[in-house]
Amino acid sequence: MFGGLGKIKLRTPVKILAGALCFFILIGFVENKQHNKVCSGINIHIEDAYDTYFINDIDVLALLTNNGTERIDGQYFKEINLKNLELRLKTNKFVKSCQVYVDLMGKLNVIIQQNRPIARVTDSHVPDAYISEDGEILPLSERFTARVVLVEGRGLKKLLHKNLQADSTAKEYFELLQQIDNERFFKALITQVVILEDGTIQMYPQLGRQIIEFGTPTDIKRKFEKIRIFYQKVMPAQGWNRYRRVNVAYQNQIVCE
């Protein structure tokens, strides 16, 4: 009786080991077969291409082929280094991530996720640039202009770092820009953010002629909630042109002038 159980226990790990061995042999066989295939074409998929046009298929092909000097179509896959192709694609600042792989039909597949800007920085002393959703500084594009909030002012140097999330001061301003981008209401309302020399912030809305005095980039969510209350409740009741200035910098109050 117990001898039979022993055989079952012994056979189970043997079967698992044999199954795993067969799996790896199959993977090796498929990879070897693919390496000996000729590339029959290139499929390129750029995510979110319907509303962001920083990079297109022509740009991708130029990167893959080193501006046409290195052929891919018609080459054996064993002669193509997929990792190097991914590294080439990532040299483009607008490429956030990419994946290059070969399918069973012998096609080279390229999937690209673009960097998405949430703000545009403009300053007379440095070239204009975008700030990405990950806090990276991106160059402008000749092909496409993103409709994002404009950021300027004498205190702009507090924001201009290679990666905004790596600097504690810049991170506070970046979180403010994220708050605008994350909520449809504020994204539609606020068109310009000015960082003054003392580090305080002014905002200019799409509707009305008010200057929004935000103060420093602290207690961000509470201040934005006061802005929401002002534009959704106060302005419709009092009239859109009654106030020239609204201050949300003070705790537990909205000061209108």
* Residue among 126, 140, 155 at smallest CA distance from 214: 155
Do 48 and 71 belong together in one domain?
Answer: yes
Amino acid at site 71: R
Q: Which two tokens stand for residue 201?
A: 């912030």
Q: Determine the pLDDT at residue 146.
A: 92
Domain end marker among 60, 80, 114: 114
Do 143 and 216 belong together in one domain?
Answer: yes
CA distance 10 to 33: 35
Residue 132, SS3 per DSSP: strand
pLDDT in tens, 178-211: 999 999 999 999 999 999 999 999 999 998 788 9
Do 94 and 140 belong together in one domain?
Answer: no
Percent of the chain with pLDDT over 70: 85
Q: Determine the pLDDT at residue 238.
A: 85
Q: Is the pLDDT of residue 6 over 70?
A: no
Q: How many domains does the chain have?
A: 2
Range of the structural domain that residue 103 is part of: 42-114
Q: Determine the pLDDT at residue 232.
A: 92
Q: Determine the pLDDT at residue 215.
A: 96
Q: Determine the pLDDT at residue 165.
A: 75
CA distance 217 to 180: 12
Give residues with Cβ within 8 angstroms of 142, minimum separation 6.
none
The CATH number given to whatever domain includes residue 78 is 3.10.20
pTM: 0.80
Q: Is residue 187 included in any domain, yes or no?
A: yes
pLDDT in tens, 153-186: 988 887 776 677 777 788 899 999 999 999 999 9
70 phi and psi angles, rounded to 5 deg = -125, 115
Q: Is the pLDDT of residue 75 over 50?
A: yes
The CATH number given to whatever domain includes residue 235 is 3.40.50
CA distance 43 to 73: 11
pLDDT in tens, 111-155: 999 999 999 999 888 789 999 999 999 999 988 999 999 999 988
Cβ–Cβ under 8 Å, residues 231 and 186: no
Q: Is residue 69 included in any domain, yes or no?
A: yes
Q: Determine the pLDDT at residue 14.
A: 55
Do 233 and 144 belong together in one domain?
Answer: yes
Do 244 and 126 belong together in one domain?
Answer: yes
Torsion of CA 98, 149, 169, 97, to 10 degrees: 0
Q: Determine the pLDDT at residue 43.
A: 96
- The band of 20, judged by pLDDT with boundaries at 50, 70 and 90, is low
